[in-house]
Chain A
């Protein structure tokens, strides 16, 4: 807990500085050659100017950075909530099958040659359906630990939907649809347009709001169900609200970017190492770090080469060493 002992103002500053730097870098770098002065001028001139610089800054980089921050923040927040709720550090937002469901939806939509908006919509619905199936099944099982049942049902439904993805990939035309499906499953922000942002932002916001409001109570889920109930928490309802929130956020995020792994699993840990496990501190830290980290990874994805490097690969490549470093450091500090 590197930052846990310091004042709130210092914590916010220490977390915001690298995120701010990532946002600045994201504006400055890109395959279209723009000097910092040109970028600033285009920003100043507003979105209505008709030239390449305005298009690059307002139509391409800004929505992309916005979507990257939003998606990274959403995945990290959902991961933080789930890890607390399932009392398990290996849990990521797709534990209940949302990514597999979204992936199957997208793969089917690509298989049938549907336009972009339909691919996104069906991916979103697929993610919701997968989690709904898990919750439905888990609700029918009464005599076991509800958390364990949820995880097991999630693994089973996720496997089922993944098998569906594999089936669609086998049936897909190898020279036409298969590459598109594969690229979608690897994730990427390169197709993001302002319209996607307007669609995803309210959904992610709607998912985040209950988490923010209930941030104190989420801590109680780390107790056993009986203890939490003794403290006056309706555990089942709280869990239900968190699942709906996290699913909404993750499904909205995944439907515009494809599957971006690693963030939802590791950013909450990084945030916990920095500010401690208390959810009301953890949530804002995870939001900031997740957003900043995905923006940084995406800046690499679009500037390292003329072709896009898939985000899922970059988040792992960049994230794993950073995380190991954090882990080693916090261990030395006696956390």
Chain B
């Protein structure tokens, strides 16, 4: 089928609801429009932060810009080319910060979004594709599916070997959790400056806990984020507390109430680095792969004293194409 015919076929599909387009797409990818041939994908617009991290890892030269304002500290840890990319804004339906006209002016060959795939995101993707004519790929961004995301997006962007290389890192990170002799540790993931915001099981923000073969202590139905009280935490008494917020980490170590928790008292309060992209969350993308290894080691290893600066340098070299110096990494909260 010639390219024009293919387009016509899809135009026919366009009259049908988006589910018709879905049926023809691979499981992890939902494609609207006809993506260009992989070797011709030169300019990619990432619709959200997880997608930007994904595209930046696979094909940094194709990434047109960052969808959110990346801090100077984060930029400093990236390769010079990625450091200088502009902030463009994101596409998220009503929450979009990028006007569609500007999107058209950017002339991307492809729009990539990664994250939750539900009817709202699918319909947003379909609408943007119809209005702009730019092919739109929605990648199911679950942490457990990282390897497949990397392989399939890599194929789409014409960087199959690179996708395979990164996917192998994901494969070895996300090993199945065996039945294990001991019961899995119960972990509380603390967010916000006061540490009282937490993801519930099923939330995309707390996936690193299950991936590290642990149990989220906030066993409430619902998913999403919630606020809890310190009294509830005393009642839960988690085995370990992890956070990405240095302010909270400092607060918990000196506050009398937090110090009542065995996890804090026994030194099982762990601070994860959050730069250039969070190790546990923020954004919920493949940047969490090193965080899963870090968390699993903190929770399960008898002597988790291995050099995380060196491992972080390996991860940066592999995923971000740039190796920060030991000094740069030592300055990061969580690695110091």
Footprint of B on A, CB under 8 Å? 30-33, 52, 55-56, 59-61, 64, 110, 113-116, 119, 170-171, 173-176, 179-180, 183, 188, 190-191, 193, 302, 305-308, 310
Contact = CB atoms under 8 A, between A and B. Distances in A.
A170 B228 contact: no
Contacts of B90: 174
A306 B217 CA distance: 11
Given A59-B257, A307-B200, A307-B218, A190 B193 contact: no
B229 A190 contact: yes
Given A31-B231, A190-B229, A308-B227, A55 B196 contact: no
A101 B154 CA distance: 47
B281 A60 contact: no
B256 A308 contact: no
Given A175-B281, A175-B284, A307-B226, A32 B260 contact: no
B234 A56 contact: yes
B232 A306 contact: yes
B328 interface: no
B315 interface: no
A175 B257 contact: no
Contacts of B283: 173, 175
A30 B205 CA distance: 27
B282 A175 contact: yes
B254 to A, nearest CB: 12
Interface in B213-265: 218-220, 222, 225-232, 234-236, 247, 251, 255-257, 260
A116 B195 CA distance: 10
Interface residues of B, number: 43
A106 to B, nearest CB: 11
Grouping DSSP codes into helix (H, G, I), strand (E, B) and loop, the B interface class, with mixed when no group exceeds half, is loop
Given A175-B282, A190-B196, A116 B251 contact: yes
Given A59-B257, A115-B247, A308 B228 contact: yes
Contacts of A110: 192-193
Given A173-B68, A175-B49, A191-B194, 4 more contacts: A173-B49, A174-B95, A175-B284, A307-B226
B247 A179 contact: no
B95 A60 contact: no
Contacts of B260: 52, 55
Contacts of A30: 231
A24 B255 CA distance: 27
Contacts of A56: 231, 234
Contacts, number: 112
A71 B236 CA distance: 28
Contacts of A193: 255, 257
Contact of B282 (A55, A173, A188): A173
Give the 7 A-B CB pairs with smallest separation, nearest first: A307-B226, A31-B232, A176-B282, A190-B229, A115-B247, A308-B227, A32-B235
Contacts of A115: 193, 247, 251
29 contacts: A31-B229, A31-B232, A31-B235, A32-B232, A33-B235, A52-B234, A52-B260, A60-B229, A60-B231, A60-B234, A60-B257, A64-B229, A110-B192, A114-B247, A115-B193, A115-B247, A119-B193, A174-B49, A175-B281, A175-B282, A179-B197, A188-B227, A305-B220, A306-B220, A306-B236, A307-B226, A307-B228, A307-B232, A308-B196
Interface in B116-170: none
A193 B222 CA distance: 28
Nearest to A178: B95
Nearest to A307: B226
Contacts of A306: 218-220, 228, 232, 236
A127 to B, nearest CB: 19
Interface in B65-105: 68-69, 90, 92, 95, 97
Nearest to B97: A170
B191 interface: yes
A307 B220 contact: yes
B230 A60 contact: yes
Given A31-B232, A55-B256, A190-B230, A174 B92 contact: yes
A186 to B, nearest CB: 9
Contacts of B69: 171
A174 B282 CA distance: 8
A308 to B, nearest CB: 4
Contacts of B222: 307
A176 B90 CA distance: 15
Nearest to B68: A173
A55 B228 contact: no
